[in-house]
Amino acid sequence: MRLAREDRFGDIEPLLGLVEKPSRYLDHEWGVCEDQDGPFHTCLIYADVYEVGQPNLGLAILYDELNAQQGFSCERAYLPWVDMADLMREHGVPMLSLETSSPVASFDIVGFTLAHELVCTNVLEALDLAGIALRSDERDEDDPLVIAGGPSAWNCEPLAPALDAVLLGDGEGALVEMARCVRDARDEGLSRGQILLRLAQLDGVYVPSLYDVVVDKTSTRWGYAVPKEGTGAPAMVRKHCIPDLASTDPAVQRIVPYMSVVQDRFAVEVLRGCARGCRFCQAGMTYRPVRERPFEQVVPAVREGLRTSGFDECALTSLSTTDHSQCARMVRTLNEELASAGVRVSIPSQRLDSFGVEMATAVGSSRKAGLTFAPEAGSQRLRDVINKNVTERDLEFAVTNAFKSGYRRMKLYFMMGLPTETDEDLLGIPRLAEDVLRMGREILGPRAKVSVSISVAVFVPKCHTPFQWAGQLPLEEVHRRQQLMLHAATDRALRVSYHGSWPSLVEGVLSKMGRAGFDLILAAWRLGCRFDAWSDQFDFDAWNQAAAEVGLNLEDVACETFDLEARLPWDHTSPGVSKGYLQREWRRAMSAEVTPDCTFTSCTGCGVCPSLGVSNVLAGERA
């Protein structure tokens, strides 16, 4: 039922003194859009706590765009932490937006950012707390339209029954189009069903209820989706893609939080897309082509953003900032300008070569915190399989440079359970780490306190990647391989840590399943699962129980390999990269053949550019 739009801050105010971090619920931050008159109201939800969701740049872009439109307004909401959610239920307070403290169920559109698979139970938790029916087909005519988008929307099938529409690809322009479409349709008096038909005609918009799931011998057991007859819904929904990042506003992060958030800084997205072609990486496939924002736009945006926000750190963000053709110039210019005002410049990912180290040194990465590299695999053969185009020599160079620049600590990230992995590949991980230690001691002297920590995550196969057909490693095997590595890492200056294997298994399940996954998520949520990405909240027993209730076994689902020719649950959505390319990449992986980055060489035929009518946009020559 649509709730009345009214300010209900008075309902949660008495609860503020009773919760762990009241500042999560205060709003009124510097830079918020106070004018929320609408009359068309949207609410964007990041289904995690405020401090995790607030720095999200995607949400900031859409917030800004919608609020700039005449007649539309946009507010934010984050999922209340468990203490507050329980109190709200006890006191009969529904989930509220931040800006006007209006019930989320009073909005015209409610949009979720799907940041990763483990957010699924949180989406249900948010809908329930808001008082919105969990299933799209149970919603009333005037209920909010529940939509979703974001990096993890690519296999949204397990959540599809909860979603009225899904936006695939870049949000710029597209969300505003969706909002306009809904407003116009409502003005014309169209029914909810008719509105969905209209939405399905928009670029990049997928309306799950207009598709049937068919399971037959051409598919996996999770089937594939086909448009229902007479709906006019496209057989394949291609992503919405903006051709040029420079045509968008670079300084969208206007809100300055009161509380400490996970990335407390002013961020400018300096490039979108990465064409390095790591075969496990979903973002690398789904965000193509590469679009750089030019120096002339980035530097003034940072200046202006810092001036109006007051942050003392700025970040040049992207999937691979050090690949930006003007990275060095941007970093140097900003550093020179900002250091005297006590402002730090940071760049997220570290390239595994001497340029990466040079940039890390230039941004003054803390020597104490050390440097982070992600070789991902322990042997050259396996690095070739995953197309991580890094050689032992690159690593040696990078590490040598780092030690010479005064770093003493290195963090190395790896994955376990990659396709074709053997014990020999795995043992290469501690061996490589020990080589790094040895180099450090050689350069800094035998008494220097050099330390290397290696962090090993479980590989989770993701849709729309060349590894989407792979199965995940069974738990028992994960644990055996962990032991194997622990025993091999004998040097005391070597620290080995593992990411939780249990949450990874659930992540794998949700990445593999089609629409049938909804019953599993629903059962898990009913058993109390929420905030699954938080290790202190994640409850593996409850997930197992939920799986049993719906007649599944989590390992069976996650560890299943798919036939290369099978129709997949997500084949009706496309980021532009063709399935043929992914199959070819899978075959090349099996023979450890590497594929170069098209921004450094020439087109390798992934299909994005011709199918979406776009191309890589570089601001200069890449080196």
Here the tokens at position 128 are: 């329930």
- Looking at beta carbons only, is 131 or 605 nearer to ligand SF4? 605
Binding partner at 9 among another protein, ligand SF4, none, C-beta below 5 to 8 Å by kind: another protein
Write the burial class of residue 416 (CB in 10 Å: 0-12 exposed, 13-18 middle, 19+ buried): buried
- Residue whose C-alpha is closest to residue 331's, from 298, 306, 301, 304: 298
Binding partner at 106 among ligand SF4, another protein, none, C-beta below 5 to 8 Å by kind: none
Report the nearest approach of ligand SF4 to the CB of residue 585 (Å): 11
Binding partner at 606 among ligand SF4, another protein, none, C-beta below 5 to 8 Å by kind: ligand SF4
Report the nearest approach of another protein to the CB of residue 302 (Å): 14
Binding partner at 608 among another protein, ligand SF4, none, C-beta below 5 to 8 Å by kind: ligand SF4
Sites of contact with another protein (CB under 8 A): 9, 13-14, 16-17, 22-23, 26-30, 256, 258-260, 306-312, 339-342, 366
**What is the Cα 264 distance to its own chain's centre?**
18
Report the nearest approach of ligand SF4 to the CB of residue 289 (Å): 4
Specify the pairing of strand 344-346 against strand 313-317.
parallel
Report the nearest approach of ligand SF4 to the CB of residue 603 (Å): 3
- Looking at beta carbons only, is 30 or 600 nearer to another protein? 30
Residue 184: helix, strand or coil by DSSP? Answer: helix
Write the burial class of residue 584 (CB in 10 Å: 0-12 exposed, 13-18 middle, 19+ buried): middle
Q: What share of the chain is helix, strand, coil (3-state, %, to 5)?
A: 40, 15, 45
- Looking at beta carbons only, is 454 or 606 nearer to ligand SF4? 606
Answer yes or no: are the C-beta atoms of 365 and 405 closer than 8 Å.
no
Binding partner at 288 among ligand SF4, another protein, none, C-beta below 5 to 8 Å by kind: ligand SF4
Query: How far is 453 from 373, CA to CA, in rounded Å?
Result: 11
Binding partner at 307 among ligand SF4, another protein, none, C-beta below 5 to 8 Å by kind: another protein
Between the alpha carbon of residue 359 and those of residues 65, 249, 355, 443, 451, the distances in Å are 33, 26, 6, 21, 21
Report the nearest approach of ligand SF4 to the CB of residue 57 (Å): 22
Binding partner at 308 among another protein, ligand SF4, none, C-beta below 5 to 8 Å by kind: another protein
Report the nearest approach of another protein to the CB of residue 314 (Å): 12
- Looking at beta carbons only, is 389 or 405 nearer to ligand SF4? 389
Query: How far is 430 from 336, CA to CA, in rounded Å?
Result: 39
Report the nearest approach of another protein to the CB of residue 343 (Å): 8
Binding partner at 57 among ligand SF4, another protein, none, C-beta below 5 to 8 Å by kind: none
- Looking at beta carbons only, is 53 or 289 nearer to ligand SF4? 289
Binding partner at 609 among another protein, ligand SF4, none, C-beta below 5 to 8 Å by kind: ligand SF4
- With the C-alpha atoms ordered 425, 430, 434, 440, is the resulting torsion angle positive or negative? positive
Report the nearest approach of ligand SF4 to the CB of residue 384 (Å): 19
Report the nearest approach of another protein to the CB of residue 328 (Å): 22
Q: Which long-range contacts (CB under 8 A, 24 or more apart) does 474-480 make?
A: 474/555, 474/559, 475/501, 475/502, 475/505, 475/555, 477/417, 478/416, 478/417
- Looking at beta carbons only, is 20 or 442 nearer to another protein? 20
- Looking at beta carbons only, is 380 or 604 nearer to ligand SF4? 604
- Looking at beta carbons only, is 490 or 602 nearer to ligand SF4? 602
Binding partner at 310 among ligand SF4, another protein, none, C-beta below 5 to 8 Å by kind: another protein
Report the nearest approach of another protein to the CB of residue 351 (Å): 24
User: What is the largest distance, in Å, between two alpha-carbon atoms of the chain?
Assistant: 78
- Looking at beta carbons only, is 103 or 607 nearer to ligand SF4? 607
Report the nearest approach of ligand SF4 to the CB of residue 613 (Å): 11
Binding partner at 30 among ligand SF4, another protein, none, C-beta below 5 to 8 Å by kind: another protein
Q: Which long-range contacts (CB under 8 A, 24 or more apart) does 66-71 make?
A: 66/42, 66/175, 66/176, 66/179, 67/33, 67/35, 69/176, 69/179, 71/38, 71/39, 71/40, 71/183
- Looking at beta carbons only, is 275 or 432 nearer to ligand SF4? 275
Here the tokens at position 580 are: 């043929």
Angle formed by the axes of helices 423-444 and 475-488, nearest 10°: 30
Sites of contact with ligand SF4 (CB under 6 A): 275, 288-289, 598, 603-609, 616
Report the nearest approach of another protein to the CB of residue 256 (Å): 6
**Ramachandran area for residue 27 (φ above 0: left; ψ -120 to 50: alpha; else beta):** left
The residues near 408 (Cβ < 8 Å, ≥ 6 apart) are 367, 370, 440, 444, 448, 449, 450, 451
Half-sphere exposure of 51 (CA within 13 A, CB side): 12
CA distance between the termini of the chain: 57
- Looking at beta carbons only, is 288 or 409 nearer to another protein? 409
Binding partner at 583 among ligand SF4, another protein, none, C-beta below 5 to 8 Å by kind: none
- Looking at beta carbons only, is 197 or 256 nearer to another protein? 256
Answer yes or no: are the C-beta atoms of 283 and 323 closer than 8 Å.
no
